[in-house]
Chain A
Amino acid sequence: MIKKDIIEKIEGEADVVFTQKNGLIKDVNLTFPYMRGVESILEGRDYRDALVIAPRVCGICSHSHLIAAVHTIEDGMRREKIKFTLSDKARHIRDFAIACELIQNHIKWFYLTILPQIYKVNHLEVPNDLIKKASKATYAITKAMAIFTGQWPHASYVVPGGVSCDPSYVEIMQAKALVDEVLELVRASLFDDTKEIRAIGDLHRALEMLQRADLLSTSHGSEHFLALADTFFSKSGEYKGATRFDVDIKKVKESQREDSKAKEALYGNDFVEVGPLARALINQDAIIMRLQKEHSGNIWSRIFARVYEGYVLLLKAKEALESIDVSEPSCVLEHNKKDISFAGIGIVEAARGSLIHEVVVKDNHIHTYNIITPSQWNLSRGSADKKGVARASVVGARSKEEAYLILRSFDLCSVCTTQ
């Protein structure tokens, strides 16, 4: 039996076709009928315009696209020996903002995307206080970020060689108080970290409901993970069969699908899972490694890993703030050449996984721009024998709602996919 549907509230929508047999989902196909064309909008523009246009790919991870864009330019400059120095201060400010945006993503995803769907699978009414919880944390963490970025979403405060802001300790004090506010919310309703870290409140409730819906006995995961960027909070790597390998960017491939506007992303010839679970496994995080062993790649380890990464990033955000020395320069760009040409690649770990931007600039103008987004990795379709990650994970699901829960655990981002 074939059933057509639309999966919605995934930062946009995707067309879905389910194949069912004896009440079980046999296969799923997600397609995107429209592309907005951000790459083509960028072509022909001054390369610095990418710092304004690229964030507009996505309203929820605009800052990741901004950082990817600036990495792309800085990589190109480095290759052309155009001199710039990134001060520790600029690096800490960027890292702080990266942490804030990821935290915002993870909290919204948990309270607005995953938890309501878990209630639905259990045929329970979705409590009406989830929005308020997400809203309080989002308000505080985006405010903390805006102290340095000017606004969120769609800030453009990074420039090649640093950041445009020049905070004093007065600003840093305000940011710290806001991070503490979010940490307090997280400690009240997600984690007890007084001894060893433990799920409480809403996160524990999620686990109970997954057990109740019998979602912990089957695997809904993959065995092949990837994180392409080295960051202040995670290492790059490929994780396969419980072993970590170094990554090689040359193995990244992109291919056009016939039935969808979204392109597929492959590593070598393989479909890989990207995102917080991938990062935690590659970093050999003891808590997540234990969980993965216990629940072998099922939905709970993916959910826990993501919320847990939010918690870890709150601590990292505080560290970044405390490391800022305001007397250092914010931006050091020493070149004064009028027209520059370069080719560069920028990789970041966005909330949903590895994000790549690539640019070729000729005489200050963007010749080509290419973007590979995290959801492209998880959503690659593959073939009947070799299914993509999200596709493979829903095989065997007992209902449409269950399949949607599994798909939402990857946090598909439609707007990124249809950049």
Chain B
Amino acid sequence: MSKPKLLWLQSITCNGNTHSFFNLQNFDALMRAFDVLYHPLLETPYCLEDIYTKELACDVLILEGAFKSRGYKKFGKETYALAKKYSKRAKYTITMGSCATFGGVFKEAQEHTIAGFCFNKEQKRPTYKHYINTLISLPGCPAHPKWLAYVLEMILQKRKIEVDEFYRPIEIFAYTAHAGCVRNEYFEWKIDVKNYGEKEGCLFYENGCRAPFTNANCNKMLWNDISSKTRVGTPCFGCTEPSFPQRNLFSTKTNMGIPANMPFGIPARAYLSVTGVAKSFRIKRFTQPLMEYKK
């Protein structure tokens, strides 16, 4: 049986998803299961000119980078039009990263002319309906290597990939980035971090952490198979969400002292009740360092 033909096509990008995916432990083995027509790093049978000028068959199309409707040409051809052409042929179109999915960071430079392949932030693009039957969204800045590995593996196994309203696989994006965070106890008892660079405290209250209202399994799957932003004391910036990148990324937006964004699905009234109860207790363990080094 012939291998599925895979085409990795870039638009306005930093190459971050290419390099993120290269961190996959079994990268080489997984790529060998496909007939890779073009890839931004690897030696491939076709060059970029072939991709732009020839009529190639393609089963799996991976898109990286944001799309400008007009004005991002190579070999005299618009990259957005080319992506649409291949997407119509492909059995699967995977938008890898937040730029390709929603517009991401590079949309910020030209808000009105740059967007994701099917979405413009959370809005559906007018042409979206032509591509949704084969679309898989993997937002993230970058997307986790195992998210793509999972999708490719499901394709190889001919299994159905269940998706949500943004066409994100539910087995990945049903979680919040908060699930599995090692600072969860501090979240439960409403104790914020005192300073950066400490093991104790939650980053949700002051420091801009968006993990409780960001869909992704970062703290379950772990980055580079070992860590995550919140595990190293960095707030989650919500990079998988259509709204990424927000402004004032290191500060929590509040209304009258209450976080403006609630954890997903939690009514403000429920949040405030729980907060009131939690804050009425002083838990000694949480006022002390997690571990102390005796001098």
Contacts and interface: CB of A to CB of B under 8 A. Distances in A.
Given A46-B250, A52-B237, A138-B23, A150 B105 contact: no
Given A56-B141, A330-B196, A46 B12 contact: no
Interface string B35-69: 00000111100011100000000000000000000
| Secondary structure dominating the interface of A | mixed
Most buried by B among A6, A41, A153: A153
B49 A46 contact: no
A53 interface: yes
B28 A326 contact: no
Contacts of A38: 105, 109
Contact of B14 (A37, A163, A415): A415
Nearest to B198: A166
Contacts of A166: 197-199, 233
B119 interface: no
A106 interface: no
A150 B229 contact: yes
B15 A151 contact: no
Contacts of A147: 226-227
Contacts of A333: 195-196
Interface in A122-136: 126, 131-132, 134-135
B110 interface: yes
A149 B27 contact: no
A151 B146 CA distance: 13
Contacts of B231: 150
A58 B17 CA distance: 10
A378 interface: no
A71 interface: no
B29 to A, nearest CB: 9
B123 interface: no
Given A156-B234, A164-B234, A36 B249 contact: no
Given A36-B109, A49-B249, A60 B15 contact: yes
Contacts of A126: 43
A146 B247 contact: no
B15 A156 contact: no
Instruction: Give chain A's interface residue range (CB within 8 Å of chain B).
Output: 35 or more
A371 interface: no
Interface stretch (A9-17, A181-189, A311-319): A9-17
Interface string B106-122: 10111000000000000
A153 B142 contact: yes
B225 interface: yes
A163 B28 CA distance: 34
A159 B203 CA distance: 14
A6 B75 contact: yes
Given A46-B247, A147-B226, A164-B233, A331 B196 contact: yes
B227 A151 contact: yes
Most buried by B among A11, A146, A333: A146
Interface string B180-212: 000000000000000111110000000000000
A197 B30 CA distance: 35
Contacts of B110: 37
Contact of A37 (B25, B109, B197): B109
A155 B234 CA distance: 9
Interface core residue of B17, B28, B248 (most chain A CB under 10 Å): B28
B142 A154 contact: yes
A116 interface: yes
A155 B248 CA distance: 17
B17 A59 contact: yes
Nearest to A130: B43
Contacts of B4: none
Contact of B293 (A142, A149, A327, A331): A327
Contacts of B237: 52, 156
B242 interface: no
Interface in B124-168: 141-142
Given A131-B31, A135-B27, A58 B15 contact: yes
A104 to B, nearest CB: 9
B28 A131 contact: yes
Contact of A151 (B28, B228, B291): B228
B15 A131 contact: no
B197 A162 contact: yes
B282 interface: no
A116 B43 CA distance: 8
B197 A164 contact: yes
Contacts of B24: 135, 139
Interface in A332-362: 333
Contact of B233 (A8, A142, A157, A161): A157
B72 interface: yes
B272 interface: no
A82 interface: no
Interface in A55-71: 56-60, 62
A60 B229 CA distance: 18
Interface in B53-103: 72-75
11 contacts: A6-B49, A49-B247, A49-B250, A59-B18, A112-B42, A135-B22, A142-B224, A146-B224, A166-B197, A326-B293, A415-B14
Of all A-B residue pairs in the complex, the 3 with the closest CB atoms, nearest first, are A330-B197, A59-B16, A37-B109
